[in-house]
């Protein structure tokens, strides 16, 4: 059942999908996790890999940047390829003073300033929250690691020109970080009756002076987040 964006057949994609934003990161994850991985889709430079981890099927596919891009892939995976859960593995900019560069955030929810989730419930602000059992599986896998936090993030449709007072207000109410995909993913999972989670590495900080990760580090320093995402995906 190929689509304009995914040229796989039904059954080619596993029920659980890891979804980084970057296609290079998706390929690196597949090489790390699945020696038997096969490319099952390759449209517009977005490859989907399917293999096994500990005997369980798993797929990895990039979303591209931003919620409209993720929304296309997640909608098709949920509605046309029998995918049951998608775990976003990516980066976020730190907001709360309780997180530092290199920490991992298990995103329990996603405040969303865009319009993608606006009409899911008429005349109501939709609460974009992760699937509890996936949060629990990732948190259990993290154990007492002090560099892992369970907290909400904020999902945005813009990367630049965010007023400083907005970041400060988000941090004040306990928002761990800002990113660009989780809100739409959580909304779509609710819409299709599926499961979703985002596990995010803090790559820079917006409210505390810190040294940002380099582009190379963003590609390679995601091992801890990846381990937690796999634990959730295969739980």
Average pLDDT score over residue span 60-80:
96
Residue 5 lies in a domain: no
Closest listed residue to residue 224, CA positions, set 199, 203, 198, 196: 199
What integer pLDDT is reported at residue 220 of this predicted model?
Answer: 65
- pLDDT, tens digit, 9 for 90 and up, residues 138-183: 999 999 999 999 999 999 998 999 999 999 999 999 999 999 999 9
Per the model's pLDDT, the better-predicted residue between 52 and 218 turns out to be 52
Question: Does residue 147 belong to any structural domain of this protein?
Answer: yes
Please indicate, yes or no, if residue 11 is contained in any of the structural domains: no
In this structure, what token pair is assigned to residue 115?
A: 């319009």
Instruction: Give the CA distances from residue 37 to residues 53, 177, 192, 223, in Å, rounded to whole numbers and listed in that order.
Output: 10, 32, 27, 18
Query: Which one is catalytic: 42, 82, 157, 204?
Result: 204
The more confidently predicted of residues 216 and 64 is: 64
Burial class (CB in 10 A: 0-12, 13-18, 19+), 186: buried
pTM: 0.94
Q: Counting Cβ atoms within 10 Å, is residue 164 exposed (0-12), middle (13-18) or buried (19+)?
A: exposed
Backbone φ, ψ for residue 104 (5° rounding): -115, 135
- Whichever domain contains 167, its CATH number is 3.40.50.1580
Assess if residue 3 is contained within a domain.
no
How many whole angstroms separate alpha carbon 34 and alpha carbon 53?
A: 6
| Domains: count for the chain | 1
Catalytic annotation present for 204:
yes
Assess whether pLDDT exceeds 90 at residue 217. Answer: no
The arithmetic mean of pLDDT across residues 52-64, rounded, is 97
Answer whether residue 118 shows pLDDT above 90.
no
Residue 211 has pLDDT above 80, yes or no: no
Task: Retrieve residue 94's tokens.
Answer: 């730190």
Region 196-211 average pLDDT: 91
Distance from chain centroid for Cα 214: 20
Q: Is residue 100 part of a domain?
A: yes
| Domain contains 121 | yes
Residue 185 structural domain: 16-234
Query: 133: which residues sit within 8 A by CB, 6+ positions away?
Result: 195, 235
For residue 10, is it within any domain?
no
Q: How far is CA 124 from the centre of its chain?
A: 25
146 within a domain of the structure (yes/no): yes
């Amino acid at each position: 059942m190929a689509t304009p964006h995914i040229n796989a057949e039904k059954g080619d994609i596993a029920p659980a999908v890891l979804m980084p934003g970057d296609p290079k990161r998706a390929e690196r994850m597949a090489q790390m996790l699945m020696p038997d991985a096969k490319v099952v889709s390759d449209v517009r430079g977005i490859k989907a890999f399917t293999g096994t981890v500990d005997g369980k099927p798993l797929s990895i596919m990039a979303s591209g940047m931003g919620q409209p891009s993720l929304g296309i892939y997640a909608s098709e995976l949920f509605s046309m390829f029998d995918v049951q859960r998608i775990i976003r593995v990516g980066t976020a900019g730190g907001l709360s003073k309780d997180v530092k560069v290199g920490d991992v955030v298990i995103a329990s929810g996603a405040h969303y300033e865009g319009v993608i989730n606006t009409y899911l419930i008429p005349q109501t602000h939709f609460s974009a929250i992760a699937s509890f059992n996936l949060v629990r599986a990732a948190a259990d896998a993290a154990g007492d690691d002090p560099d892992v936090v369970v907290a909400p993030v904020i999902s945005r449709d813009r990367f630049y020109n965010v007023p400083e007072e907005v970041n400060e207000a988000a941090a004040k109410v306990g928002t761990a970080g800002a990113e660009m995909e989780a809100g739409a993913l959580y909304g779509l999972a609710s819409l299709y009756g599926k499961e979703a989670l985002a596990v995010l590495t803090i790559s820079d900080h917006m409210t505390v002076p810190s040294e940002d990760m380099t582009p190379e580090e963003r590609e390679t320093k995601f091992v801890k987040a990846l381990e937690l995402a796999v634990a959730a995906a295969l739980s």
